Structure 1
């Protein structure tokens, strides 16, 4: 019998239950195909695995569809798509795997150069993937958007290769630029963070080129950009009053409480029984992670959603040229039982901040409002929160 709380802490990545597989993910349906050759338009899409690191597998991917498949890698489109359409798109991406050492990005062979060229392309790339066997499996993960079946790659042929945008090519060919500087150059030029993470993953950014597992590159980009935004935010005046934002979407509730204080940040999640990582539980499990003004040196236990949500709020504060303590909470309800990736948090947080805030003069009144939004017990949140200081001790009694 698996202890329910282990799933919340593991999320299919650490195998804390002692099994060599995640029983939640393995029981989720994936796409099955019966062909060994895929001729289609890659969005472009590439996935870099993490197992056996530093020896890893790189997967150029394409659906068996020709034309404009860019929405297959567009998280803004995903957010407004029906779940069945989203899954159909993502699980149709067939992956052909090639094994490399992480340092092979420094002197890439022809195969890897082709994969890099596909990744940095500005538009979908028409290609032919020839696999060594019928592809199988798929990826459903807390950090990653879903991906379809895979098999070892025998041959890769590129039929059409649109050129990269000028700024992407400049970062790609510059081996003297620090990785963080390259990430910010692309971000400031308007390149989507999902695209930046793919370029980073195939060794396309930085002085010391290396292949980076996709799971890690997504978080690295979210963190690098929000780190830079935070340093800018700290130079701004604080907001004037307490602001509360909220968004209800697809069996999720997102709440942000912005306080007129110096920068600090919190991300919390409440998983209800019957949701993705609380399928075996019978109570609401609340997890919270946070950082003070000077940040943190360790990786948050709550996972990649921490940095995805932090990017969303730092973008918002930077656009306002204001500083605040940001408390972000998420409730995940029964029936939301499929891992779809941290993009879901990032895009929902961005959408939440497009709405008008409910403004309060003090924290106590704001918490009265938040209490009515939450289904879970406010006291449970406060017992773990940055909000747990003297001015709200009455809530904890």
Structure 2
């Protein structure tokens, strides 16, 4: 089947908004993702997106930043403090699993054992988004079987108890026994309120939505957090004063996060399938069922738009007013990243930077805590990049907390 490759930023920006291009990056997975929000199209996609978008309101973020985050970050940092060192290649997954599981509505005992178990299951489910890039197609059936097993374990160990408790709470709310504010502010509750019965949404689909919510929030962001940590530590070699500046200036922090996201998008490639014959913004034509692929990592490094040395990490880039520093890393059109607000917050300006309720995003919250504790390279252990992938992914990224550079 023919595949068209869009290589220019402006063409990709317009292509992502075309309504007759269907999400196709995950077509090889027939078990997990087909009915989740990332793969749905048209009204079915819009309906489910509205439900989950309703989770991320001011009430949610106030609770998240004041209650969920402090507990989750403590669970992840305490073992590092006890050990005297950590590995961002492991820490990033643990802290983000802890954060997104709560917003997804998954109950657990908040122990390292529970976190590691959830991580193990999500690691298997994480093969679903990359199944279409397998070099050996014969591996697909094995991975599909592993997906089935992991979903069954996630359902029995985590989802079913969490759903049952929330069904009970929603029943109490509808009976007038508790207030709306007494309900958990999470994705399962939002879905139950909008689609309460299995006729509204099948149980199996509800369960997979929950697993996807965590997968998208944790696994896709973990690599971004690893690269952000490496870029920060490299930057501090030449700009040590920016440790304190970043902690004090939310606008500066967001620029650093966006520049890192431009270089290391959570999903480096996006792929669409034409639902009908169409003329593409780059001048080419696509027939029905042909693929249209965009390499976001390459597109985000366009020298004409992002200035000299677009491969370098430089949060002080001077860009045109309509050019976001994060480029197209969050996609565009109907499938713009649903988790953008959770990951990087709203745009921080002079008007909202000091407001307590401003949604700064998970990346900024984690970075603040790491800076406060004095994150630094582990002098006794070198970082190691995974050479099996074109993305900059780390096998190991050792770090310590150095009181000499701690801020605050």
Same fold by TM-score, threshold 0.5 exceeded? no
Higher relative contact order (CA 8 A, sep 6+): 2
Which one has a larger percent strand, Structure 1 or Structure 2? 1
TM-score (ref. length: structure 2): 0.30
Identify, as 1 or 2, the structure richer in helix: 2
